[in-house]
Amino acid sequence: MSERTRPWTVSEAGSQAGRVAVVTGANTGIGLEIARQLATADATVVLACRDQGRADAARADILGSAPKANVYAVQVDMGSLDSIAACSRRLRENWPVIDLLINNAGVMAAAPTRTADGFESDFGTNFLGHFALTGHLLDRVRASPSGRVVTVSSITHRRRTATLDFEDPNGLRRFDPATAYARSKMASMTFMVELQRRLAATGERTLSVAAHPGGVRTHILRQQNRLIQLVYNPRLSWLTGWFTQSPADGARPILRAALDSSTRGGDFYGPAGRGELVGPPVLVEVSRRARDVEAGRRLWQLAEDMTGVRFLETHG
């Protein structure tokens, strides 16, 4: 078994003292568990969350198990470009170097809804919001000798219906919840790959990587139908544990993407078990469509036009 495909544990990464990690959507679910593990490993962790009160409660929760941890909470609505810009200014003022930017926050809308800027909620929050945040903070990540941008994705990006629609990127003409979510994750994965291409072209060591948590019992499914909510209800883990896992277990692939020293730019981690739904984190496959060079270029240009945030521009 190769170094890059064997199971991995967070303890292998060692102390993260002196490093700064920003985790979006860190007040609950896998985001909270990612933040908890990083804080326990002595990293300075910034919880970037939509609700300040819930972020403060998450901070208190982490400090309850790691009282000496350096944990901060900042407010950001990933569905608002103004909020993202304001949060980025606060982060830049306080941390000249950000070692890890973990783009975790996400939504899964049950009906067509729009962000503050008029984008379809899944596409606007899961992809465009993190594109903008990354653009605002990338120079801080590049200032780290081992900076990484970690995209939290999903196996749904491999679905046939996850094809990007450049004529109707918001997908509001014919909305389907599962398709909207899958397309937002395809956009995120395509962005991850294109970001790595552009970083590699600069000759720097900063990495763009991704991971997916598998079948995790979290609140992101709270707007879905009753059956899906029932399947992923934590109280039924005794029955569904063969294909669902806890947020702490779901956090492991993201932590490996963030911390494993053998990780390379463009790597994608997920659970090793049944259907990539459960199990220890290993390297898994990035969809061929997400690796398409022309799609990456077009999506980057589209995101710049929609958000007004421009970075790592290519010429010629």
Q: Determine the residue type at 211.
A: A
As a whole number of angstroms, the distance between CA 157 and CA 101 comes to 21
CA atoms within 13 A on the CB side of 232: 20
DSSP codes, 197-244:
HHHHHHT---EEEEE---SB--GGGTTS-HHHHHHT-GGGHHHHTTT-
Told to judge if 181 belongs to the known catalytic residues of this protein, a careful annotator would answer yes
The radius of gyration computed from the CA coordinates of the chain, to the nearest angstrom, equals 18
- Of the candidates 72, 181, 232, 269, the residue annotated as catalytic is 181
Cα–Cα nearest to 24, from 183, 173, 162, 188 = 188
| Nearest-5° Cα angle at 176, 174 to 178 | 150
Whether the CB-CB separation of 207 and 149 falls below 8 Å is answered with yes
Cα–Cα nearest to 205, from 131, 133, 259, 265 = 265
Classify 267 as helix, strand or coil. Answer: coil
As a whole number of angstroms, the distance between CA 306 and CA 316 comes to 22
The phi, psi pair for 300, rounded to 5°, reads -60, -45
Whether the CB-CB separation of 114 and 120 falls below 8 Å is answered with yes
Strands 281-283 and 268-271: antiparallel
Q: Which residues are catalytic?
A: 181
